[in-house]
Structure 1
């Protein structure tokens, strides 16, 4: 396990934007049948998902969150030395969408920008990257944006995914300061299972595959341009590798579950959350849930939970444990202290950027 530790850097602001449209899982009954819908809800805990407009991109949602976080924090845009955008749904193949956000947010020209292609572990991988850059520079502050519109690469016939994933964007301001507890992060990677969550076509490996959707071995209509998840592989990974990482991390930190106020975990599904609670003996009241109303929000799961449960509430400093896991396969966890006063309430938006190519 790779461990990263950072001193004198705090979360100075956090905002999350979701689309206004919420799609109830029950509306899929005509497609998948009432019995399958009830089984899905019981297993996953998802009752509805957030759904972006057809022209609304991940960067649109991330941009709205960034505008909100700047408006509500004391950090100046002129202090931002780094902008990282974590997404698997960029605006273009070239350039990185971080440059589009740099232009839209009117950040200084000395700001270093790039994208990270990560999903459910992306928020923590992004934290490690941007904290490392900030810690080794003269910059005063940095901006981490995450965003995904997962539905845009899902087959509408895929009952395992289309009802599970929601769309959103987040913006987190990091600022150097002396008076704050350190941040600790831990990571593991299993590239041997990279095919477990994959969109086979659409980039440069398989450029000329047909777009027609045909029945796969599980009977679901897909094309190779649709994201596919090997459910049992990912499930096994989630209830074995992930709790082991969490145990190993707490052992390295010499902490226990009692040392944390809350465990803000990737919102994969309700059954996996219950398994993590059972295996690590975490009281269920310490695991806040947002997937029932918003679904699995990929790299935004952790900030979405924070904004949903703590946004606008002045509960003081909370010692939280975070964990994200998914495509790659990748898994990450960590702990930090966050002042709930800098966590803003969820905002809803349908805004789409019109000055595109």
Structure 2
């Protein structure tokens, strides 16, 4: 049975962090320097008492309202986050109750970052194809801001908090194609919050400055920018090529490429390396930042708002990052 994306909505926290505010905290980083290099003007930040599940619930409620969806029709919840409310229980179970989704619905969490939306689409398609569920609510929600050291100017300029909600069903506006997925755990330590879970439960308050002047500690988000850039530059072109082969398509047949919105510099590097025309390569991050697993659905939503896809248009979606983990698929309108 074919699976389709039927509806998308997203939610942003009210609080914002602008380049001007960051520049005031880190005077060596001017407003224009941040905007030109990162491609982000402002990012939304979850409040102290606002958590990933709260944003996921808000995104789902927005989805239900905007698209006239009855929660009683949902028969599975997939919740992607790397900032769960608790070690246990599964946050998707709590979300089911808050949204009034039937108790007969399945619900699970999965821990992935920037590739999470693509993996979620793959899981949802599998549930539909196997006849296990007909209406899957895929939620992505992340509060990386709660992991970032206040003195880490690099990561604070990049990441924003957000949640997205997608309904995958047996009908909809875009058919979900075949997937190319990949994993390389050798790169795990290059993007990691090392302390706070079971292996290293005690957070170490001691922090040091890295070679770029960013304050970091093992209890906060660590990102080795050069290593992540090298991984992305090597992995993504192959990912795109293999995804096209899986879907029996040529690059020229793709009307729009929507990649994980990492940062402007990285995306432009990838676009030029893969020789994709700018008009076929969508970027949306200036007002939201890198929202991790929600970056692809947010960009997809905004792309459809700005230039609706004609019938039979083919858009390639790709995510890549922490893990290392990567994935891509093609959707056909």
What is the aligned partner in structure 2 of residue 18 from structure 1? 12
What is the aligned partner in structure 1 of residue 79 from structure 2? 85
The secondary structure found in structure 2 opposite 1:293 is: coil
1:284 corresponds, among 278, 283, 293, to 278
The separation in 1 between residues aligned to 2:237 and 2:300, in whole angstroms, is 21
* Mean CA deviation greater in 311-320 or 166-175: 311-320
**Structure 2 residue 156 is the aligned partner of structure 1 residue 162:** yes
Shift of 1:44: 1.4
What is the aligned partner in structure 1 of residue 124 from structure 2? 130
The 8 Å contact of residues 12 and 73 in structure 1, kept in 2 or not, is answered as no
2:265 corresponds, among 249, 261, 271, to 271
What is the aligned partner in structure 1 of residue 219 from structure 2? 225
The separation in 2 between residues aligned to 1:152 and 1:308, in whole angstroms, is 26
Shift of 1:165: 0.3
What is the aligned partner in structure 1 of residue 292 from structure 2? 298
Q: After the TM superposition, which residues 170-319 of structure 1 pair with which residues of structure 2 at under 5 Å, given as runs?
A: 170-177=164-171, 181-216=175-210, 219-311=213-305, 315-317=309-311, 318-319=313-314
What is the aligned partner in structure 1 of residue 70 from structure 2? 76
Distance 1:51 1:333, change over 3 A: same
* Mean CA deviation greater in 212-221 or 241-250: 212-221
What is the aligned partner in structure 1 of residue 326 from structure 2? 331
The separation in 1 between residues aligned to 2:176 and 2:203, in whole angstroms, is 48
* Mean CA deviation greater in 136-145 or 296-305: 136-145
The 8 Å contact of residues 257 and 281 in structure 1, kept in 2 or not, is answered as no
Shift of 1:138: 4.5
The separation in 2 between residues aligned to 1:143 and 1:247, in whole angstroms, is 29
What is the aligned partner in structure 2 of residue 341 from structure 1? none
Superposed CA deviations along residues 28-86 of structure 1, whole A, max 9, x for unmatched, are 22322245654433221112112222211112121111112122335433332210110
What is the aligned partner in structure 1 of residue 113 from structure 2? 119
- Give structure 1 stretches of 5+ with no counterpart: 1-6, 339-357
What is the aligned partner in structure 1 of residue 98 from structure 2? 104
What is the aligned partner in structure 2 of residue 349 from structure 1? none
- Give structure 2 stretches of 5+ with no counterpart: none
The separation in 1 between residues aligned to 2:146 and 2:127, in whole angstroms, is 32
Q: What TM-score do you get using the length of structure 1 for normalisation?
A: 0.87
Distance 1:151 1:179, change over 3 A: closer
What is the aligned partner in structure 2 of residue 57 from structure 1? 51
The 8 Å contact of residues 137 and 166 in structure 2, kept in 1 or not, is answered as yes
The separation in 2 between residues aligned to 1:209 and 1:109, in whole angstroms, is 37
Q: What TM-score do you get using the length of structure 2 for normalisation?
A: 0.93
Shift of 1:205: 0.7
The separation in 2 between residues aligned to 1:116 and 1:234, in whole angstroms, is 22
Shift of 1:87: 0.5
The separation in 1 between residues aligned to 2:42 and 2:73, in whole angstroms, is 39
* Mean CA deviation greater in 282-291 or 292-301: 282-291
RMSD over aligned CA atoms reads 2.1
The 8 Å contact of residues 6 and 174 in structure 2, kept in 1 or not, is answered as no
* Mean CA deviation greater in 225-234 or 19-28: 19-28
The separation in 2 between residues aligned to 1:167 and 1:51, in whole angstroms, is 5
The secondary structure found in structure 2 opposite 1:264 is: strand
The 8 Å contact of residues 255 and 280 in structure 2, kept in 1 or not, is answered as yes
The secondary structure found in structure 2 opposite 1:160 is: helix
Kindly tell me the number of residue pairs found equivalent between the two proteins. 332
The 8 Å contact of residues 8 and 178 in structure 1, kept in 2 or not, is answered as no
The separation in 2 between residues aligned to 1:142 and 1:194, in whole angstroms, is 30
